[in-house]
Structures are given as structure tokens and as C-alpha cells.
Structure 1
Amino acid sequence: MDPMHSGMRYTPKVTEHDWDPSLQFLPASDSKKLEKKKRPGKVGAVIGLLVFFLVISLMTGLLVWHFHFRKDVRVKKMFTGSMRITNQVFEEAYENPNSTEFQTLARQVASQLKEIYSKTPQLSKYYVGSTIQAFSEGSVIAYYTSEFNVPAGQEAAVDNTMASMDRIVDKQQDQQRRRHSDRDNSNLVFEDVMTSELDTRLFKSSRAYRYTQHTRANHIGILESPGFPNYPYPPNTLVQWQLRADRGYVIKLDFDTFNLEENCKKDFVKIYDSLVAIESRVMEEICGYYSPSDHLTFTSSGNVMLVTFVTDEARNYPGFRAHVSQVPRTTRASQCGGKLSGASGTFASPNYPNYYPPLTSCVWSIQVPSDKYIKVTFEKFLISDAGQRGNMCSKDYVEINGKKLCGEVPSVETAKANSLAVSFFSDASYVDRGFTAKFEAFEPKDPCPNKFMCSNGNCISEKLKCDGWNDCGDNSDESTCKCEKSQISCKNGLCKPKFWLCDGVNDCGDNTDELNCGLCAKGQFMCSNNKCVSDKKKCDGKDDCGDGSDEANCERSNSVKCTSYTYKCKNNNCVNKMNPECDGVDDCSDGSDEKNCDCGQQPFKTSRIVGGQDASYGEFPWQVSLHIKGSSHVCGASIISDRWIVTAAHCVQDDAKTRYSQPGTWEVYLGLHEQRDKSKAVKRGLKKVISHPSYNAYTFDFDIALMELDSPVTFTDYIRPICLPSPSYVFPTGKSVWITGWGATREGGYGPNVLQKAEVRIINSTVCNNLMGGQLTSRMLCAGVLAGGVDACQGDSGGPLSSLSPGQSSSRMFLAGVVSWGDGCARRNKPGIYTTVTKFEGWIREVTGV
């Protein structure tokens, strides 16, 4: 069942505090018609001249007044803040804004704020008023908003003054204490004053609502966007939830559904470690669409949290639902830091892979046997702060060996001692996922037993040194190498795999691998049929190559002569733009290049968790798992419509034991993520299995097959079709593409439980054919990995090779290839071979009617 339709159905009430601002409009002048009159006489001419000079004088006066004398152009400035009242004790009644206790203390705080502003020359003349929004524990923390009406041009002065409010308050209170030292002072004492300008998006909405919620022990509350899950959220709306926990607890906010507009400038959720929107206490700003498995979970530093939700005037989405609970503060602290000992072990930032809380400080003391040294490997590392500047790591960071680490790059650190301290620190604003790390002891004289030690401390197999692949991560395994005959010898001393030769990508770093690649002289263009023509004849409207390739992908996209390199519209006109289909632009006069484009969309934001090859749930919703009835996964496939899927022909060839060509042999699982958990997947049987009639079992040529489901499937976030490319679609050499499947993770190994993904790169067909002993045909596509050691393998056959479209206004995946064959799995210089789908687009549409 789709999680979007599970759980409670709740629509927030709209009867609470309605903050609709009044709108003011300037009156419009009545327009008057001017009648055409007879030619004026001398008197008329004089009168006309006087009127002309009068108008000129009036305009001049208005301009002088506007630029020199107008003083009333004002700008509304809103600031939020909090301050600790040290001479008060928190009472439960302070949680209720309608209580006498709240209103009494609020009046006193507002009065003292007014006094502070009145004694500050840069603020006193512009101050309008303050509103006390809430109180919380510690002794008592007051949260407020202050409004100023500032003349245009004075905004910066006010901003700078408000930024130093903590010093201003301290100074004024210190002066007051000295004046009243000889008698009782009933004034409130303020400390820890913080202020920031309110995000202007938070007071421009036409509708605004505020809710309060106090969590309870052993209870999980629900927080939902207005209308969820029955209706899309409304436009031009601001909703705020003030969340509280009991004393000694922190708040845990866990989103199980999150579906907003992709652009955070339009619709967004902003979470604060506060009860008002103080920008220095913002934890995160989020928008877009997240998978339920993406760990969108936040924890406060104290017992309060503010969640704000803002929408603009258009494009309303389903919204979100979150669970709110309280967690003992001691539980959170016990997960942070501590003593670690032994030969090896692991540790992670608090709440990993969820977001770590703000204002966190942890220290891990690691100790290994006395005759060993320590190595710490950060396997996944995501510590990025919106305010972080370069590599300064001045906000959130890990400190180890006197070095601060931040950003998104995993690393390895070693210590020439048997003890080591690792610290983690997060400030008050912007949190991230954090890190996971392992420590291990090693022999001082042999840090990498029987392995090569990289400069960054990584240990890799000696066989991987000088093989052309950056296995260390810092390229130290590829320095000072002597290249083999099977490698490219770069001028800078690096050695690279031969199949990266002339692939359009500067792999050497000095462009050695891309020199002397063409067969044509300087000033000539090489056609796809290897004919050479003058560069001046490219895009001149004439087919000088004879195959149309010199007129392909020219800037003009008007109708041209149809060739194998042009896109054919439904009206039989052709355009010469490369890959125009579903790119968000109408290139065909009949708009047919943008029809049937409900495909290839990845609904969820791609996870930032790095360092592994697990795909996120729903990341490749066209991926299919083919099972023999009553057995396990055998092959992959791709959804192309609600009834049809594409796989490899070699997956459906009969053998002595099994009739793979018969529909009754198969079970099809769509929307599957984990092989051991099929509860969320949709199962279908087959009605037809159609192998390509020209399939050659010896050469794997024409290795493609179609399967028709026994009943249509309903598309969801986890089940969607991939786009079929037209015959003219180009997947250029060097382009990054994705392979996915549940195939063996190593040659001769076993298949994984979770769907795997790997980024590979399309390889020059001529070079690839040489590497593969001349076994490629024109219907085969070659792709290899960027970093080595990853490839399609047994069990991945029939699955998709997915390619992201190049359009700026589109982000769709096209089916570039079908996993076909290879020489082993992930062998060096042995890329994978895929069936080229563009060669079979006509056959697919003829058979399926898609």
C-alpha cells in the first residue's frame, strides 16, 4: 500500500489565530477623453503655451520633491529574538498565552524592550512595537518579535545595531545596576540576547495560522500540512507549529511523507531550534520530494522546536506528515562520545543517518593495544553547514590529530600512538547527516599488511597499483608508474585504461588521451561515416556528409531534411536538434516531441548518503525483478508502459530444465526494493513473452525481449515507466549513465538483498570493440565504470542502463541500453556490453503499441 494513503487523515483547523494582514490600495484617477478641436487661434496658442510651461514646472517640482524633500519612504523591518530572564522561575502557566501570568510577564518584557530601544539612538525613532510570542524553561526564556518602520537608506544601520543587541542590553543593564545598587531593582535581568531579521517570506502570506503542541511521554503526535492527505495544501499560506517537550527531554521530528514543490524559493518547510523564527537557530530548510526511507528526522538541542511551512500562489503539492515525540536528553547524550577500546570498532555522530542535533559536542577516546597504532576511516561523511566558508570548518566539524574536517569527503586518519581523541562539534544553526567511522589497530612497522598504503592512509591490493584506476581516492596508487602496452601513457606520468582513449573526456588531466583522435585535417569536420568535410560546411543547411551528421544538432531547430540523425515529428517533419524529446521545449511544430512524456521521472530527491551502492527506495521506479515461479530473482527488466516491460532475449531462452520462453514460468515484481521483503511490491503474471526474432544465442546480437503483463499496473511513486529514446537519440561517448539490479556483487558471488546502483560511462565503440576482441555489433553499446571494480553481473541481465536527459527544464531518464553480456564482472579493461535500445525503438512500438 502506498504510504501516502496510510495513517490518520487530518485537516488542520482554520479557526485559530488568523493573521490576515489588511491590504491598502491607492485610489485610481478617473481617465478623461480628449476631443479633437479646430485649429486654435492666437489666444489659444498663448493659452496652450502657458499650460505647457505650467506642466513643465509642475513636473520639475515633483521631481525635486521626490529626490530632495520626500522623507516618508519607509521600509517595514521585522526582527525576532530571544533572551534569558535570569531573575524569574518558569511556571507552567507561561505556556498559555491567555493566562494572567503570561500576560503580566509579557507586558513587563515588552516594556523593557521599549525602554532598551528608546535609549538606542539608531533605533528609537523607528521603533513601532514588540510582541511576546512565547516563554520556555531555562530560567525563563522569552521569545519576541519587534517591528521597525525604517526610512529608505537607513536599513543597514538598523540591521547592524540589532545584530549587536546582546552588547547593548549588557551595557544598559550594567549602567542600571550601578545606578540602583543602593536600593531594590524590580526590573527583569536579561542575558543571552540573540536577534535576527525575520525571513521576509514568513510575513508575506495572505493566510497565517499558528498551532502549539506539547508532547507527552510514550506518545507520538501527528503534524500535517493543511489538507493532507485528502487535498493539496493551499496557496499563499504560512503555518507555524510551536512544539514543546517535558523538562529533561528533547523533541524528535520524523517525516514519513514529504512532497513539496522542488524550488525552496516557492514552497518550503523551515525548522528552528527555538520557539520563534530566529535565523541563527535554523536547523534546516527543506523542499522537494523525499522517499520515506530517506531518514528525514530532526532532534532539538532543548525542549522546544518551531516548524514553519510557507507556500506561494501556485503549484500546490500533497504536502507532508511528521511524527512528533519526546526523547530523554540523557538517551541522546549517551549516544555521543565515550571510551572505545580493542583492536577495532565503530562509532558515529549522534542519530546517524538522521540529522544530528544542534549545539552538540562529543569526544571519543580511542585506545588500542600498547604495541599498535590507530587508524580511523570515515566511511560516510556529511558535515556541511550553510554558513561554512571554504575549508575553514568554523561551524560544524570533526577534530582529529589537531585537524578539523568538514564537508562531504570521507577520509582516513592515522595516529602514531595507541590512543587518540576524536571530537565532534555542531553550532546552533544548520545541521546535517553526520558521519560513520571505524577505528582499527595496525602494526607500526607494517600499516598495510600485504597491501599498498596510499598517501591518505587507505590500504589497497598491490594488484591495483598502476592499473589506471584511482583506487586510493587521492591518486597516490597511480603516481610514479610505468605504463603497460595495454594502457594510455599520459604525458604527466599517469597510466589510464585503453578504452578511455578518444572518448571525449580528459582522463589523463593533460588531454593526452584525447590527442590525435580524428582522421580529418585541421579545419575539417569528421562525419559519422568517417567522411571529412570543411568546418564551414557544418550547419549550412546542406547534407555535405551524405548521412546528415554535419547538419545534426545545429542551433536552428526548424524543419530540415530527414536523416538518421534528425528527430522525426508526428507530422513527418524533422528537426535537427539533438535529443529534443521530453526536454521541456516544443521543437516540433505539432508539439509531438513533448507528447507521451509521463516517463523517466525519479520522484524522490536523490539521497546524499555516500560511500555505498544501495539505491534509495523508489530511486529507479522502472526497475523490475523477474522470478521463476516459486524461486528467486533471475533477471532484471524495465517498465515502459502499464502493460509492457523490456528485458534481454537471453533471459527467456529455454534450456533442458526450464521453459523460460513461456509466460507461465515467470512472476514479475514491480516496485520492489528488497528481495527479502516483497510486501510493498506489486506482483504480476505474464500474458506474452516475445523474444526478438533475430536474436543470436552465440553472439548475443539482437539481445532484447518484450513481456506483456497479465493485467495493467497502476503507476505510483515506486512504479513508473522509463522513457524510450527515438532512433535519432544520441548517448555520447563519455556520458555518465546508471546500471541497477540485484545481480551478484562480485564475479561468482551472491546477489544482494537491496537494489544496487552503479554509475558508469559510455565508452568509444571502436576502442571497446578492440578490447572485446572484435565481438561488438552495431546493436551493442559499451559502458564502463569511472573508478573501477563495479559492473553489471550475473542476475543484472535484462535490467536498464538509465541515462539522464540533457534538457535544462527536464530531468527524465531514458532507456539507453539493456544489460546483455560481458567478460566476467568488473574486470579491469573489460567493460559491460548493453543492447542499444535506439536500434529497436521501431520494433518495440510496433509490437506493443506504446
Structure 2
Amino acid sequence: MCAFFFLVRKNEYAKRIYIGSMKIQNQAFDNAYENSDTPEFKALAEKVQQQVRLPGSLTQYMNTFFYFYCLKVNRQQSKRDQPDRNVKIETTGFPAKSYEPNTFTQWELRGDEGTIIKLEFDAMYLEENCSNDFVKIYDSLVPIENRALEELCEHYSPSEPLTFYSSGNVMLVTMATNDKYNFPGFRAYVSQVPPTCSTKLTGPKGTFSTPNFPNYYPPNIKCDWEIEVPSDKVVKVTFKKLLLAEPGQENGKNCDKDYVMIDKNKKLCGDHQDGNIFEIGTTNKMTLEFLSDHSYVDRGFQAEYEAIDPVDPCPGKFHCRNGLCISQNLTCDGWNDCGDMSDEKNCKCKGDSLLTCGSGLCKPLFWKCDGVDDCGDGTDERDCACETGYITCTNKKCVSEKKQCDGKDDCGDNSDELNCKKNSEVQCTESTYKCKNGKCIDKKNPVCDGSSDCEDGSDEENCACGRKKLRSSTRIVGGEDAAQGEFPWQVSLHFQTYGHVCGASIISENWLVTAAHCVQIDDIFGEPAKWEVYLGLHDQRKIESFVVKRKLKQIISNPNYNPNTFNNDIALMELDSPIKFSDYIQPICLPNNDYKVPVGETVFITGFGATREGGTAAKVLQKAEVRIINYSECNKLMSYRLTSKMFCAGVLTGGVDACQGDSGGPLNILEGDYMLLAGVVSWGDGCARRNKPGIYTTVSEFRGWIKEKTGV
């Protein structure tokens, strides 16, 4: 293989590198060709040059220097490693110094014959825009697009595996940078490993996956699995995750690149992470074939197989229309357990906690009158007595006051946009927001929402909070790993030898917000010296260099906290010394004292708490999406134990909640461009139980007290 470069002179207005390649036929590879100083290399190069004639007009027109190397590419800038053992490659000066601007560098990697190359990135921190700075990986020693595995830029956290494999014993890593905005760069480790793939699977059940899952599979490979279960059964394969979204087949319809084929007649590709992709065979045998082409790889798939009875595929259970098997108790309970709603069709709703929709569906009562049409026919939003902070539309729908007079028809009959005054005409009352210039506006929750509503812009002052610096795809039950730096205000509170006990949120260089019940379990928990505070922590098993550990100077519980009812469940912690903010440590914004938590909004809860009721704490920070629930309906479900300082949040599908160890952590709500600390994880009946949502302390109710004690 030969490669050639046209390098434009440096004094030209535009600098470009043009890369191409050609293949030498009927010529066996010799190791001596690796070194351009050997006689063998020079002899071959002379033969090639006799066959290649470069047009002189092209040379003159481009005013270029022409470099030509056979078998060795860009030798002056290239770095070659023989990865017999782990070899480190990294940008110059990483991580202490930024990489150099205006460069093109490449690392040529070759393993022993019969092995493949494993490239594992330990850190990746480049400019966000891949058209400026990027790293590109090739399944060859020449940068040819149809052998490209992936193009990388921006920041990837350690929680996002970046491991690549070659199809043969060679790989090329290239890096190009422009003239500005340089970052630390990357560090990676290279090794050679034996190729593995196909296998035969027998027995009543088992699991299998593409090579290296959940890391990237190699390019240009073919894997076969032969599954055989007992002769009186049939095979069922369920793909727990299927990630085959190479460019051009993201939607899972055009499976002409990387795909898995079942019994030689059905192809699967695309991005499916919900575990609802499965295939039931007609016999006790099934074959699966996985193929990847030369370019662009993904994570692959993880699957399980089982033997099922062809007559009764779900013994003692409900058989969903899509083939899933669920407990009979999960039918007609308001939750879409099948995933295709077949368990919620033709139902008679059970118990007093369910609402019967006009469409025949059952829905939990706590979704009633929250401004979201869960029934699909508006049944759950009719005849609503709107709560405080909501207006009643002419059509009886409830809409948040913050959406009134915002120029959008949120009611559906435009009644929320009638009789609207301009901001300059608004009279100041208890329900309006007063700007610094003394004028009032009637927009609810205007502070730090990314829109300057006051004439003097004072509603957007002091908003250096609630914004993550890094990227990002109770333990929170039903959640997933957060990306590193995704919630930089999350704090892990450790008590003596107990390890992680509660969560908290950073609100300034000196202060944290947590739950009062975390520090009032016993008298000893109220002693500041017994606590250790970890800021910027992502994994409880790894204390990275950017993690900051602090002691506490003082703890201030709300004086009206009631341990029997959890009313006023909020506390403040002052650090023993100020912290410096970084990409991994940032404060979250505090809501104004008139902020109304928007019912029906989707929000995030985060924490290191238990992954299931009665379970152990999560090692990696978890996140989950929940929805703010109608207060009055939730209060009924919780036997009227809510106070005016609390609110509820949960999810429609069930199974997601805060749990032990998440207490004191944040309920994060996005307002404009900023995250607000709308709630503090407080209490609940168990974890992720049906019709038992999580209960949160309403932070806006304590805004004056927080300012009085902290100055924030």
C-alpha cells in the first residue's frame, strides 16, 4: 500500500493536506519495508516511481511540495508503536499543557500477525466542534474514509467507554487541530489481543453479546451464534440493548451496513435500549449472524436466550401482544408494563387510586389536573379545581401562571392570552416580581430563566449557577449512570466510618443545602466534625484529582423541622474553607421565594442512594427523570400527610424514585438555560412503589431563611 501527500506551502492563504492511496499488486509484504532507509524499501520505491507519472501542470498550479512514501505514511510527523504490551499514546504535554495548534499528527499501530489492536482511551478532552479539532481512528495504516472507525471530539467522561478494536493487526490514529481554542487533549493505551467471536450455545437459557460489549466492536468481522434448547421448546432471544446505529442506519430501517441477522431472514440494526426487541423462533434452534463493514463502528448488542413452551409461552403470566410476559397483577393498573399498552386495553379500573379515562384506559389519580393529557382524550384534565399557581382556562383546563401572557396559546382556547397588560403597566403586588428599578412584571419565576424580562435586566443578574461545564447521552431506582460533570452541584456526604449517608447541593463557595433529617437522626449526626464532604465526586470507588474533600464548619437545621412529619425538612452546611469552582464543581441556582413548582413538568433527581428498596448504595452517581405531580391528588394517595412545604414527583411508567441515601440531594429543574434547586429529597413510602411517589421539600418556601443564614 502506498500513500502520497500534497502539502501546500506555509505562506499560502490556505493550508491543506490532500491524502490518497494506491495498492501494489503481486507484491508480498516484507518487514524491511517498515524502514525507508533499508535497501529493500528504496528498491521498491524506485520501481513504483517508474510507474507513477505526476502531471507537471498540477505541481505548478498547486505550488506544492510532493512527498511520496510507500508503506510508511507521513514519517516525519508519525509515531509508530509495536503494542506487544500496553503502550501509552497521548498528546504532547497531556494533561498539564494544551495540545499544539495547527498540527496534523498520526500514530501508526501494528501488532503481531494473528492478533488485533485494542485502543482504549483513558481521557478525551478536545474542542466541542469536530470541524475544528478532532481525533479520527482508522482500521488501516492509511487514513482512508471507508476504513474510518470513528471521529471524536469534545469531552468524554470515564463512564462512557471509548475502546476500539481493529479487524487485523494494524490501526491508525490521527489528530488534526486548527489555530485556536486548544484543550488538554487525550491519553490512550494500546495493546494486542487475540480475536474472538463465534460460539455454540446450548441449555435452557443463557446470555451472549458482540465482541467487547459495551465497548465498540471491531470493524469487518463476522460472528455466528448457534442456539439449541431442549427439543420440546422453542428459542426466544431478547436484545437487552441493541446499538447498531452506524451513519445511514440510525433509524433501524436500512440495515445494509452493520447488522445482526436472525435465521438468515430478518435483519436488525439501529438504536434500541429499552430491552423490548426480541424474536421467537419456530423450532428449538436459532442462528444469529453479526456482520460489521470496514467503516464506523458502534457498541453492538447484549442479548439473552431462553427456552419457552410454544403453546403457553407465558405460564401463569399475562402474554403481551408484543410477546413479553408480565405478572397478571400488572394488568389494568394504569401502568404500561408491556410497552405496547396491551395490558391496559379493555380494562375495568382497579381500586380508588385509578381514574377511568373516556378512552377506556386507567391512569393513576395523581396525574389528574396537572396540565398534561395522559388519557389522550382530556378526561384527566376535565372539571379541575386548579391549584395555587395555576389559572383556570375557559375550557376548564389548568395552566401554570408562568405561561399566562407569554404569547403562546397554552390553554388551547387562547384564554390565557386575553386581557394581558404590558410589563410597564403592571401594578406591584405580592404575586408580581419587582425589578431593581422598582417596576414590576407579572411573569412567574422570571429569575435566571435565560430571558431578560426586566427593563434593567435585573432578573438575569447573579446567574453564574446551574450550568454544567462538561458534556453529556435514591441510587435512583430505575435510573442510569450520570455522565461525569453532568450535575456538578451534587455532593456526597460521608459520616465517620459509615461512608456515603446523604446527598446535598452546592449553592455557593461556602454553603450546601441538604435535608434536616440527615443531620438529626441522632445527636451525634449534628456534630460538624464527624462529617466529610466530597464535591465533584462521580464514582465512590475512585477519588479523582478534581474531587475536593472538605470538613464542615457548622450545620444549621431549620428550627421548625418536625421529625415526625418531615415538615420543614431542610438544613444548611457551611464548609470549613471556600471551594474553587471547576468543570466538575459548580453551584446550582436557587429559586425565588415566589417560585411555583410547575405541575406536569419533567425534572431530574440525582444521587448515590440505593438502587432498590432495601438495597445497597450506588457506586456511580445516578440520574432519573420524574414528573411533578398534582398536589391534591398526591396528598390523597399519601393519606393526607403532605404539608404546604412539600411536593410530589414520580414517573408514569413506575419503577423510578429516590431511595435510601439520596436524602438531601437535589431535584433539578431546567428553567431557561439554568438548573434550579426546586426540591430537596425528603421522604416516601418505600422506593419506587406504585402510586407512592417521592416527596420533596419545596426550596422556594425557605428562600428567605437561606438568604438570612448564608447571604446567598
TM-score (norm 1): 0.72
Residue 573 to residue 21, structure 1, CA distance change in 2 (3 Å): farther
1:690 CA displacement: 0.7
Residues in 1 aligned to 2:16 and 2:496: alpha-carbon distance in whole angstroms: 68
The answer to whether the aligner puts 1:469 opposite 2:330 as a matched pair is no
Q: CA deviation at 1:99?
A: 5.1
| Offset from partner CA, 1:597-626 (integer Å, 9 cap, x none) | 44434444334xx99634445443333333
* Partner of residue 642 from structure 1, selected from 509, 519, 527: 509
Which residue pairs with 2:269 in the alignment? 406
Among candidates 31, 35, 43, match of residue 96 of structure 1: 35
SS in 2 for 1:233: coil
Question: Aligned ranges for residues 250-399 of structure 1 at < 5 Å?
Answer: 250-325=116-191, 327-328=192-193, 331-332=194-195, 334=196, 336-388=197-249, 390=251, 391-399=253-261
Aligned residue identity for 2:266: K
Aligned 8 A contact 1:724 1:814 in 2: yes
Q: 1:443 aligns with which of 309, 327, 332?
A: 309
- How much does 1:427 deviate? 1.1
Q: 1:795 to 1:342 in 2, by over 3 A?
A: same
- Closer, same or farther: CA 520–389 of 1 in aligned 2, 3 Å: closer
- Is the 1:83–1:143 contact (alpha carbons within 8 Å) kept by the matching residues of 2? no
What secondary structure, in the 3-state scheme, does the structure 2 residue paired with 1:292 have?
A: coil
1:631 maps onto 2:498 in alignment: yes
Q: For 1:496, give the aligned amino acid.
A: K
Amino acid at match of 1:406: C
- In the alignment, is residue 789 of structure 1 matched against residue 655 of structure 2? yes
- Is the 1:110–1:131 contact (alpha carbons within 8 Å) kept by the matching residues of 2? no
1:456 is displaced (CA, Å) by 2.9
Residue 369 of structure 1 aligns to a residue in which SS?
A: coil
CA distance 1:143–1:755, change in 2 (3 Å): closer
Please say if 1:430 is aligned against 2:299. Answer: no
Amino acid of the residue matched to residue 823 of structure 1?
Answer: D
- CA distance in 1 between counterparts of 2:521 and 2:207 reads 48
Shift of 1:19: 5.4
Cα shift at 1:241: 3.0
Summarize deviations over 1:453-472 as a string: whole Å, max 9, x none: 32333222222112221222
833-842 or 234-243: which moved more? 234-243
Relative to structure 1, the CA distance from residue 244 to residue 784 in structure 2 (aligned partners, 3 Å threshold; closer, same or farther) is same
Quick check: 1:501 aligned with 2:368? yes
Which letter does structure 2 place at the counterpart of 1:828? R
Contact 1:622 1:720 in 2 (8 A): yes
SS in 2 for 1:276: coil
**567 and 315 in structure 1: CA distance in 2 versus 1, 3 angstrom threshold:** farther
The alpha-carbon deviation at position 678 of structure 1 amounts to 6.1
Query: Given that residues 523 and 534 in structure 1 are in contact (C-alpha distance below 8 angstroms), is that contact kept between their aligned partners in structure 2?
Result: no
- 1:478, distance to aligned residue in structure 2 (A): 2.0
Instruction: Indicate whether 1:238 and 2:104 are aligned.
Output: yes
Q: CA offset at residue 360 of structure 1?
A: 1.5
Deviation at 1:87, TM superposition (A): 0.8
Please list the CA deviations of residues 801-847 of structure 1 after superposition, one character each: whole Å capped at 9, or x if unmatched.
Answer: 1223433xxxx432221011223322222211111122223322321
SS in 2 for 1:212: strand
Secondary structure of the corresponding residue to residue 247 of structure 1: coil
Judge conservation of contact 1:564–1:727 (CA < 8 Å) in 2. no
**1:680-719 to 2 correspondence within 5 Å?**
682-719=548-585
What's the counterpart of residue 818 of structure 1?
A: 680
- Separation in 2 of the partners of 1:489 and 1:125? 80
Aligned to 1:666: 531
- Name which one, 1 or 2, has greater alpha-carbon Rg: 1
Q: Matched residues in 2 for 1:364 and 1:413: separation?
A: 14
Q: 1:233–1:319: 8 Å Cα contact kept in structure 2?
A: yes
CA contact (8 A) 2:222 2:290 kept: yes
Task: Please tell me the residue identity of whatever aligns with 2:524.
Answer: R
1:838 lines up with 2:700 in the alignment? yes
Cα-to-partner distance string for 1:542-580 (whole Å, 9 max, x where unaligned): xxxxxxxxx6xxxxxx89665666655566666666655
**Contact 2:591 2:676 (8 Å CA) reproduced:** yes
Q: Matches of 1:264 and 1:578 in 2, distance apart? A: 39
Deviations 1:52-96 (A, max 9, x none): xxxxxxxxxxxxxxxxxxxxxxx9998644444231111233233
Unaligned stretches of 5+ in structure 2? 387-391, 405-410
1:434-488 Cα shifts (integer Å, max 9, x gaps): 1211222233343233322323332222221122212222322222322345333
- Whichever residue aligns with residue 9 of structure 2, its letter is P
Alpha-carbon distance between aligned partners in 2 of 1:758 and 1:527, rounded to the nearest angstrom: 24
| Structure 1 residues 569-584: aligned runs within 5 Å | 581-582=447-448
Q: CA deviation at 1:345?
A: 1.7
Answer whether contact 1:624 1:637 (CA < 8 A) is retained.
Answer: yes
Instruction: Give 1:111 shift.
Output: 6.0
The equivalent of 2:518 in structure 1 is: 651
Structure 2 CA distance for aligned equivalents of residues 527 and 229 of structure 1? 48
Q: Normalized against structure 2, the TM-score is what?
A: 0.84
For residue 709 of structure 2, give the secondary structure of its aligned residue in structure 1: helix
Render the CA deviation track for 1:377-435: whole Å, top value 9, x for unaligned.
Answer: 21122111112264121111122243211122131222232221122111111111112
Per-residue deviation, 1:691: 0.9
Q: Quick check: 1:106–1:132 contact (8 Å CA) kept in 2?
A: no
**Structure 2 contact 426–440 (Cα < 8 Å) conserved:** yes
Q: Residue 416 in 1 paired to residue 355 in 2?
A: no
Mapped partners of 2:492, 2:270: distance in 1? 37
* 1:760-808: CA deviation from partner (whole Å, max 9, x where unpaired): 111222332333343333322221113211211233221111223433x
Distance verdict in 2 for CA 1:397–1:847, change over 3 Å? same
Stretch deviating more after TM superposition (678-687 or 301-310): 678-687
Change (3 A) 1:595 1:209: farther
- Is residue 209–residue 240 contact of structure 1 (8 Å, CA) maintained in 2? no
1:669 partner amino acid: Y
| AA matched with 1:213 | R
Letter in 2 for 1:21: R
- Between 1:278-287 and 1:310-319, the stretch displaced more is 310-319
CA–CA distance in 2 between the matches of 1:563 and 1:209?
A: 73
Please give the alpha-carbon distance, in whole angstroms, between the structure 2 residues aligned to 1:784 and 1:847. 31
**Whole-Å Cα distance in 2 between the matches of residues 824 and 241 of structure 1?**
54
**Counterparts of 1:787 and 1:523 in 2: how far apart (Å)?**
27
Determine if contact 2:450/2:672 at 8 Å carries over to the other structure.
no
Partner letter of residue 360 of structure 2?
G
Alignment of 1:140-179 (within 5 A): none
* Number of residues of Structure 1 aligned to a counterpart in Structure 2: 683
Mapping for residues 4-83 of structure 1, pairs under 5 Å: 21-24=9-12, 80-83=19-22
Pair 1:351–1:643, CA change in 2 (3 A): same
Question: Gapped runs of 5+ residues in structure 1?
Answer: 1-16, 26-74, 137-141, 145-207, 542-550, 552-557
Quick one: higher RCO (CA 8 Å, sep 6+), 1 or 2?
2
Provide the rounded CA distance (Å) in 2 between the counterparts of 1:634 and 1:396.
Answer: 45
Q: What is the aligned counterpart of 2:592 among 726, 729, 745? A: 726
Cα distance in 2 for partners of 1:394, 1:774 equals 57
Residue 487 (structure 2) aligns with = 620
Report matched runs for 1:757-776 at 5 Å.
757-776=623-642
Corresponding residue number in structure 2 for 1:249:
115
Matched residue type, 2:77:
R
% same residue = 57
SS in 2 for 1:693: coil
Q: Is the 8 A contact 1:215 1:244 kept in 2?
A: yes
Query: 3-state DSSP class of the match of 2:270?
Result: coil
User: Which among 87, 109, 128 is matched to residue 220 of structure 1?
Assistant: 87
Q: Measured at CA, do residues 572 and 101 of structure 1 come closer, stay the same or move farther in structure 2, by a change above 3 Å?
A: farther
CA distance in 2: counterparts of 1:89 and 1:611, whole angstroms: 56
SS at match of 1:356: coil
Q: Secondary structure of 1:354's partner?
A: coil
2:420 is aligned to 539
Deviates further, 385-394 or 769-778: 769-778
Distance of aligned partners of 1:598 and 1:235 in 2 relative to their CA distance in 1, 3 Å threshold:
farther
